[in-house]
Amino acid sequence: MQGTNHLVFNATLAVATESLLHPAGPAFHWTNVFSWLAHAGAPSAVGTVLVYKCVYYSCTLLTARLPDVDQRIRIFGKHRGFTHSFVGVLFFAFALLGVGLLLTNFLLKHGIYVSQEVLTIGLLAILSLTLGCLFHIIGDSVTFKGVDFFWPSEGRVGVPQDYSIRNETWSEYIFVYCVMLVVGFLVGISFFGF
Ligand SMILES: [Zn+2]
């Protein structure tokens, strides 16, 4: 899948995941707008959830193209191997957690208090950055080449090649934008409460 399509596909899957599982807080309904207006200017739970949603969406987009770093840096081995695998995603998540823990420790040692709110946002960012990589892998798994999801064991994982899409062809655009339209339609319906 191409870079731009990865961004669109990640945004689509991020919306779908948020609508179904709410990793960044409760879903918004159009009637919420009235409560926002009623509480405009006052710090509220709505403001906190909006921050969570911004962190969630920006982080899932930030890593939309990250697994393809294996095309530029050779230490990751062949393209669509380690960085497109379960092990790779797990490694990335633990590396982020490690950095987060080191940073928190460093701040505490220097007398800087880290609030529960900041810690929650940090954990949400780690989850969202990891999800962004997973969405990328899902996007690549519908293409002809598939991914080596169970790296280091070799073997293509993805939809059957007869039904897969070809990279950088019209089928890729049709697939990405059809998924986007369907998700957009379903989310629109749930937002307006039909
Ligand atoms: Zn890729």
For 110-169, the pLDDT digits (tens) are: 999 889 999 999 999 999 999 999 999 999 999 999 999 999 998 999 999 988 888 778
Q: For residue 70, is it within any domain?
A: yes
Burial class (CB in 10 A: 0-12, 13-18, 19+), 179: middle
84 CA to centre of ligand 1 in angstroms: 7
116 CA to centre of ligand 1 in angstroms: 35
> In terms of pLDDT, which residue wins out, 38 or 1?
1
Q: For residue 37, is it within any domain?
A: yes
Contact 9, 179 (CB under 8 A): yes
Q: Which residue segment(s) compose the domain that 29 sits in?
A: 3-188
75 CA to centre of ligand 1 in angstroms: 16
Query: What protein residues have CB closer than 5 angstroms to ion ligand 1?
Result: 67-68, 140
Tally of domains within the chain = 1
Q: For residue 194, is it within any domain?
A: no
